[in-house]
Amino acid sequence: MAKLELRNVVKRFGDVTVCNGVNLDVEEGQMICLIGSSGAGKSTLLRCINLLEHTEDGEIFLDGEDISIPGLDPQAARKKIGMVFQNFNLFPHMTAFENAMLAPMRVYKRSRLDLEKDIRLLFSRFGLSDRMENYPDQLSGGQQQRVAIIRALAMQPEVMLFDEITSALDPQLVGEVLDVLLQLKNQGMTMVLATHEIKFARHAADKICFLKDGKIIEEGPPDQIFGSPKRTATKKFLARALK
């Protein structure tokens, strides 16, 4: 059984169909990269998986349980699915440390003392121990994004979603964030990324999904997608992206 399963997921905003029947299997410990032009539906798909958007049709299974049933409390699923956003979305009135402490303290009602140890460990694991007491606006974009990843990891999620997390960064800061992703992959985290970092996707992903007009029109291991894409749309996109 796949860790995460999408069956015929449909999402509309008014008359516009953004996800048009998406099917996807994510095995435990896999890193899946969603690629495709802007507007293909990558971000919306991730938001649907985290139940930030409700779906019009189809099912989303986490460990075989449908989490997308209308009326179901989304909080239970969100605890297990972490998400990191393009613009970090850190809470500006809290230090990096408090950003990471907030959710586990409130949601799991964990004691501050017990939790502090875990959070400190996370910060040191990702090389940010000396930045814990800084506010987001005192950090570089790369550091902010790493704090956002730590904040999501603090909830001990089973699946992580990354929504173009390097797109808002200066080119020289992209590397440090991608390194964190590799670190997570090596630790066996199940991850779904929407990304424009084609080269990173090629060497790090277990599976590439190419989206067009709200559908996954081609998927497979990186070597196959990059080496011998079957669909002309995929070929065209890759030709442009790799230029």
Partner 1 sequence: MSDTKAAGMTRRELFEQRQKRRSIVIAGTSTLLVLLAVVILVPLTPGWEKVQKSFFNGAVLTKTFPKLIDAFQLNVLIFIWSAPLIAILGLLVALARDAKSPAMFPLRILGAAFTDVFRGVPVILTVYLIGFGIPGLGLPRPWNSPYIWGSVALILTYSAYVAEIFRAGIDSVHPSQRSAALSLGLSERQIMWDVILPQAVRNVVPSQMNMLIALQKDVSLLSFIGPVEIFRQAGVFKSLLANFTPYVGAAIIFLIITVPATRYADYLLARQSKERS
Which residues would be at the binding site for partner 1 (CB under 8 A)?
Answer: 47, 50, 52, 74-75, 78-79, 81-83, 85, 87, 89-93, 102-103, 106-107, 148, 151-152, 155
Pick the closer one to partner 1 by CB: 41 or 136.
136
Q: How far is the CB of 35 from partner 1 (least distance, A)?
A: 22
The residue (of 111 and 186) whose beta carbon lies closer to partner 1 is 111
Q: How far is CA 91 from the centre of its chain?
A: 19
Q: Note whether 88 and 164 are within 8 A (CB).
A: no
- Positive or negative CA dihedral for 112, 114, 117, 118? negative
List the Cα angle 141/145/147 in 5-degree steps: 115
In the complex, least distance from residue 210 CB atom to partner 1, rounded to whole angstroms: 25
Give the C-alpha separation, 95 to 80, whole Å: 24
Min dist CB 80 to partner 1, Å, is 9
Closest distance of CB 237 from partner 1, Å: 28
Helix (H) or strand (E) holding 228: none
Asked whether 1 and 27 are in contact (CB, 8 A), the reply is no
CB 142, CB 166: distance < 8 Å: no
For partner 1, the closer of residues 148 and 178 by Cβ is 148
User: Of 78 and 131, which has the nearer Cβ to partner 1?
Assistant: 78
In the complex, what is the shortest distance from the CB of residue 79 to partner 1, in angstroms, rounded to a whole number?
4
DSSP code of residue 136: G
Among residues 30 and 43, whose Cβ is nearest to partner 1? 43
